[in-house]
Structure 1
Amino acid sequence: MKHYLLAVQIDETVPEPEDELREQLARTAKVSDEIKAAGAWVFAGGLLPSHASTVVRPGNGTTTMTDGPFAETKEQLGGFWVIQCEDLDEALAWADRCALACARPIEVRPFDDVV
């Protein structure tokens, strides 16, 4: 089994109507339950907006800390699933269902086997 990150991409500049957000959360909860039932579940989580992040940057043997996202970009990481699957095709099938449920793009990335 390989592990895959299903990263939910969001555009924080577009406000989400509360009723649509509730519907998306209900759909994603249902897909999460299906992932659990299939035995592919590892864990998942939603994230606070990018302004709540802190970047710790190394340099010259020390670190600096800055508030906000690492990169200025339109899309931010809004949440994720970590799943275990036999192969990429299975992970992509789950990503397809997740994307439809949350109405957001999903980036699928395999974990490196090196620990």
Structure 2
Amino acid sequence: MPQYLIYFHQQWVGEHDAEWFAERGRLVNDVVEDMRRAGVYVFAGGVDENLDRAFSADATSGTLTIADGPYRRHEVDLGGLTVVDVEDDDAAKLWAGKVAEACGWPQEVRRIC
């Protein structure tokens, strides 16, 4: 079965209070548990928002360089991701919809090649 990446950018989250995030966390955990029961769960997690703790590896010059910070600063930064192993696009859409509803912000989906 193909795997799909369901992800969001941190900038899509918006400003919310701690209580709102706590409720969303419970909803997301329920969706992840549903994924496990359905046998489609591969991985899910949020990404550290602090770009000062990021680092990059680049070998495009022919010499490996490891550097502190992101490879490049972007207007949008990855916020979190989920990987599911499902039958087809329709099943990926179903799970992406459940994740989007639980999180309260948009999700983008791409098939993993």
TM-score normalized by the length of structure 1: 0.83
The equivalent of 1:47 in structure 2 is: 47
Runs of 4+ with >6 A deviation: none
Match of 2:102 in 1: 101
Mapped to 2, the partners of 1:7 and 1:71 lie a distance apart of 19
Instruction: Say whether residues 1:82 and 2:83 are aligned partners.
Output: yes
Q: Which residue of 2 aligns with 1:65?
A: 66
Residue pair 1:54, 1:68 contacting (<8 A) in 2 also: yes
Aligned residue for 1:62, secondary structure, equals coil
* Unaligned stretches of 5+ residues in structure 1: none
Which residue in 1 is equivalent to 2:8?
8
Aligned CA distance change for structure 1 residues 102 and 13 (closer, same or farther; 3 Å): closer
Q: Which amino acid aligns with 1:61?
A: G
For the residues of structure 1 that align with 2:42 and 2:17, how far apart are their CA atoms?
30
Q: State the AA in 2 paired with 1:98.
A: V
Residue 50 of structure 1: CA displacement?
4.6
Instruction: Name the one with the larger strand percent.
Output: 1
- Note the aligned Cα RMSD (angstroms): 2.1
Scaled by the length of structure 2, the TM-score of the pair is 0.85
Structure having the larger proportion of residues in helix: 2
User: Could you say what secondary structure the match of 1:55 adopts?
Assistant: strand
Q: How many residues align?
A: 112
Cα 1:104–1:20 change in 2 (3 A) is: same
Alignment partner, residue 57 of structure 2:
56
